[in-house]
């Protein structure tokens, strides 16, 4: 979902182009929102296993805080569709069956963060950072913005805050049921779950009466592989943010509103002055 730029953010983003990597052991002391201003969520990395409801929560946070979602997939497709220099480079790699390298993705993310005013109070990170290298690069990029902020229009803005990570967690079997129990109406696209939200008539849509279908990848073997991939990719990233006290876990097997409330509480805690 694309959001219009935050009308309160009426300044132009100015940032240096020189980036530097940080020592992973560096510990940040997250600043709070400036006096007289509303809470700034800043950059938020929302993590979660398949089926945990991360996408739904991201949409709620975007609407509540009027912040955008920074999706590397969306940025990549936009650059390719727009025919930018970065997009052309990425397309040439994709056409050859080569993965787009970190440096190219990072350059695209950097341009997105310094080219739009909608990110000034914060943003939800989607699909980035996936690796320890990407996490340290992003910290270096945002720290550079912080160093350039005093006396500029960026001073006190959420974009200069360090990244905080919130991981949504749920029991494996709960996630398995959410994925393997999912059924969709091919006509009206209504979504059911045979365990938690079954149709009135088994296998039939309540509205259309059409036979419900299950996606080919909503099976236990596929889910198990996706979980292995998720855990392998995110473990180093989680540990990186945990060591710096920029990480919280939130139970995702509660009601939608309770999960949202827990995430917001975690963000307020993470953005509070460093505790002694």
Tell me if residue 215 is catalytic: yes
Say which of 54, 112, 178, 271 is annotated catalytic.
54
Nearest-angstrom CA–CA distance, 85 and 101: 15
Active-site residue (options: 130, 146, 204, 242): 130
Dist CA 271 CA 248 (whole Å)? 12
The active-site residue out of 89, 111, 226, 242 is 226
Catalytic residue among 112, 144, 178, 182: 182
Catalytic residue selected from 37, 215, 243, 251: 215
Active-site annotation holds for 226: yes
Name the one residue in this structure whose structure tokens are 């997105």: 112
The residues, ordered by sequence, that sit 6+ positions from 242 with a Cβ below 8 Å of its Cβ are none
Identify whether 204 is a catalytic site residue. Answer: no
Which residues are known catalytic residues?
54, 130, 182, 215, 226
């Amino acid at each position: 979902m694309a959001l219009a730029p935050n009308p309160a953010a009426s300044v132009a983003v100015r940032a240096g182009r020189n980036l530097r990597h940080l020592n992973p052991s560096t510990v940040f002391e997250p600043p709070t929102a400036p006096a007289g201003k509303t809470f700034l969520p800043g950059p938020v990395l929302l993590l979660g296993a398949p089926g945990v409801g991360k996408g739904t929560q991201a949409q709620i946070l975007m609407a509540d805080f009027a912040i955008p979602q920074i999706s590397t997939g969306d940025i990549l497709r936009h650059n390719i569709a727009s025919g930018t220099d970065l997009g052309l480079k990425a397309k040439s790699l994709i056409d050859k069956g080569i993965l787009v390298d970190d440096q190219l993705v990072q350059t695209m993310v950097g341009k997105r963060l310094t080219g739009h005013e909608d990110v000034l109070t914060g943003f939800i990170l989607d699909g980035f950072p996936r690796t320890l290298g990407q996490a340290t690069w992003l910290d270096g990029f945002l720290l550079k913005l912080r160093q350039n902020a005093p006396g500029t229009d960026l001073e006190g803005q959420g974009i200069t805050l360090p990244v905080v990570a919130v991981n949504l967690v749920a029991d494996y079997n709960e996630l398995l049921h959410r994925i393997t129990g999912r059924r969709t109406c091919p006509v009206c696209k209504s979504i059911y779950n045979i365990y938690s939200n079954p149709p009135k008539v088994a296998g039939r849509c309540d509205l259309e009466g059409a036979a419900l279908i299950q996606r080919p990848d909503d099976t236990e073997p596929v889910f198990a592989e996706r979980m292995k991939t998720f855990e392998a990719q995110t473990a180093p990233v989680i540990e990186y943010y945990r060591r710096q006290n920029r990480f919280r876990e939130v139970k995702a097997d509660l009601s939608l509103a309770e999960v949202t409330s827990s995430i917001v509480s975690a963000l307020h805690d993470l953005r509070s002055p460093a505790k002694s």
